[in-house]
Structure 1
Amino acid sequence: MTLGLINANPVVHAKKERVVRTEDSHTDDAVDPLEIYDFVRDIRDPEHPYSLEQLSVLSEESITVDEKLGRILITFTPTIQHCSMVTVIGLCLREKLKDHFPPHFKI
């Protein structure tokens, strides 16, 4: 029984295959949106046993990096409007990223 769930039956999408990166494909120290996506795509949704990727809360296109400003911006879309877990999802993303990327980045 799914009492208390705001979105009891979310649409679940297939996981994408991971892009295997070689040292040659990423030679500089620049932060790459694909690298960030691979790092956070498996975060689980607070209400469901699915990842943010499987629920299409997060996508590769929703991540931008501005090296000059030192900013990583992730725009995510909850599964339903007025989702009560938006803050929790944002905090999960922030906590996972803050220890992995250089301290000069604002997340």
Structure 2
Amino acid sequence: MASVHAEECDTCEEVALDVFDLIKDIRDPEKVETLEELNVVSEDCVTVKKLYGKEGYLVTINFTPTVPHCSLATLIGLCLRVKLQRSLPYRHKVDIFISEGTHVTEEDINKQINDKERIAAAMENPNLRELVDSCLKERD
């Protein structure tokens, strides 16, 4: 039984690295740097667990805004979620949070970026969708 658990842990670590590879190059909405370059995300901010009794993974991301009053933290969370929705090739559930104590309104933002209805409504807004797409666009 221990070998199965170790195997699952190895797979979860691989998935976490895959997730990080997907999100590290998302560009900050106001700056030219990526979220990795700004230390908003790092390998340590991604955790993955196997969903019990189901096929797939629970992916949790804890990101750190550059300043405690970052006005674009919700947009960054939206970008993270959309990138993973578009890119992950396997079943998954994604939870995205601001790292505890790093933003003045972290609780409100965490609710927004984990609410399916709010995410869907945000992506129906053409201006917001264009902004998200520009943050997700690969560098030339």
| TM norm structure 1 | 0.67
Alignment-derived partner of residue 3 in structure 1 = none
Alignment-derived partner of residue 101 in structure 1 = 88
Distance (Å, rounded) in 1 between the aligned partners of 2:31 and 2:84: 22
Extract unaligned runs of 5+ from structure 1: 1-27
Matched, 1:71 2:85: no
The RMSD of aligned alpha carbons is 1.9
Aligned-partner residue type, residue 71 of structure 1: L
Alignment-derived partner of residue 4 in structure 1 = none
Alignment-derived partner of residue 35 in structure 2 = 52
Matches within 5 A, 1:1-107: 32-69=15-52, 70-102=57-89, 104-107=91-94
**1:34-89 Cα shifts (integer Å, max 9, x gaps):** 11111110000011010000000000000001112531111000000021111100
What percentage of residue pairs aligned between the two structures are identical?
A: 45
Distance (Å, rounded) in 1 between the aligned partners of 2:32 and 2:39: 14
SS of 1:79 mapped into structure 2: coil
User: Cα distance, 1:104 vs. partner?
Assistant: 3.2
**1:14-49 Cα shifts (integer Å, max 9, x gaps):** xxxxxxxxxxxxxx9766111111111000001101
Extract unaligned runs of 5+ from structure 2: 1-9, 95-140
Structure showing the higher helix proportion among its residues: 2
Distance (Å, rounded) in 2 between the aligned partners of 1:63 and 1:48: 23
Alignment-derived partner of residue 115 in structure 2 = none
Q: How many residues align?
A: 80
Aligned-partner residue type, residue 65 of structure 1: V
Aligned-partner residue type, residue 106 of structure 1: K
Structure showing the higher strand proportion among its residues: 2
Segments ≥4 residues shifted beyond 3 Å: 28-31
